[in-house]
Amino acid sequence: MQKNAKIYIAGHRGLVGSAILKNLRADGFHNFVLKTHAELDLTDTQEVANFFKKEKPEYVFLAAAKVGGIVANTTYRGEFIYDNLMIQNNVIHQSYLNNIKKLLFLGSTCIYPKECSQPMKEDYLLTDILEYTNEPYAVAKIAGIKLCESYNLQYGTNFISVMPTNLYGPNDNFDLEKSHVLPALIRKMHLGKALQMNDWSTVRSDLNNLPINGVDGQATEAKIIAVLESYGITKTRDTLSVEIWGSGKPMREFLWSEDMADACVFLMKHRDFKDTHEFGQREIRNTHINIGTGIDISIKDLAETIKEIVGFEGELKFNTEKPDGTMKKLTDVTKLHDLGWRHKIDLREGIEKNYGWYQETFIK
């Protein structure tokens, strides 16, 4: 990519998109097309067609998606499959029609089967049933992979699909209903620590910036305590506890979002679709690329690590009546390593960075 290349980042305000934008700017790129959801609804086919016809970007990073944790995935199943299918179909198809030079499509490792062999190789796609709780989102992302793959094979486009593991970092979602486990635990334990210390200014500052179910920092102490209890942050006369869904036994892999962005930019600059599969194959499948660390941790150990970093001294209560989800999700990153990229930030350093970002952003 030339430094003056016109680049469209779909989802530039999100966790991944903002990290990609930051990485590109640091590398000297400056000609960006950036649209918020209010300015461009990617589920609207005509809006997207008009945008591409007018702007004619040369490179596209498709990081826009409807995402969330296990609660959101279970509650909004219809929205998760429809919105994600529409976003990716519109952007990928218009990229083809407008002859962009290269597109990078971001999915998720939830595309792999529920009982997938570990670590998960790209070749394990579509070999068994999916985890039920995130099936709609996963089906949409699998469709995106196949759309890119099929357009490459039929039309000669240069579209690359990457499947990141669980991501966290600056611009993470700390909404307790919709966030993933790592940012949710950071926020829960920070609020728990504040309650333990009777630090109501911190609690109110958090809620003023991130209201929970309409409850902000102006509410009464009783109302605030009630809404926090509804999300498992429970204060009694003698103890304070934070509830965590499931047994704590599932193993998860986490990747710092700025590492993810670095991998995406590396692939966009140095690799093409032809590099994602062996030359001469009769059937070209599974051309997507896993992006991760290849290292996992149990939810229990993750919670204990966050507890230590935050300084929360209360109890961790694992609610075994709630679903665990997939018991192990570890990516095989051999393909990524062979293509020339490895992660740099380890988990503890990343959690410390993410906790710092949360405090600077929401505790004012």
Report, as residue numbers or ranges, the catalytic residues: 137
Q: Which phi and psi (to 5°) does residue 304 adopt? A: -65, -35
Q: Which residues contact 199 (CB under 8 A, 6 or more apart)?
A: 193
Structure tokens at 67: 């995402």
Spatial separation of the C-alpha atoms in residues 169 and 182, rounded to whole Å:
10
Compute the Cα dihedral for 215, 177, 64, 354 and give only its sign. Answer: positive
Cβ(143)–Cβ(245) below 8 Å: no
Structure tokens at 147: 């759309």
Of 11, 174, 172, whose CA–CA distance to 87 is shortest? 11
Q: What is the DSSP string of 39-89?
A: T--TT-HHHHHHHHHHH--SEEEE-------HHHHHH-HHHHHHHHHHHHH
Spatial separation of the C-alpha atoms in residues 306 and 213, rounded to whole Å:
25
Sequence letter at residue 19: A
Cβ(60)–Cβ(103) below 8 Å: yes
Cβ(107)–Cβ(162) below 8 Å: yes
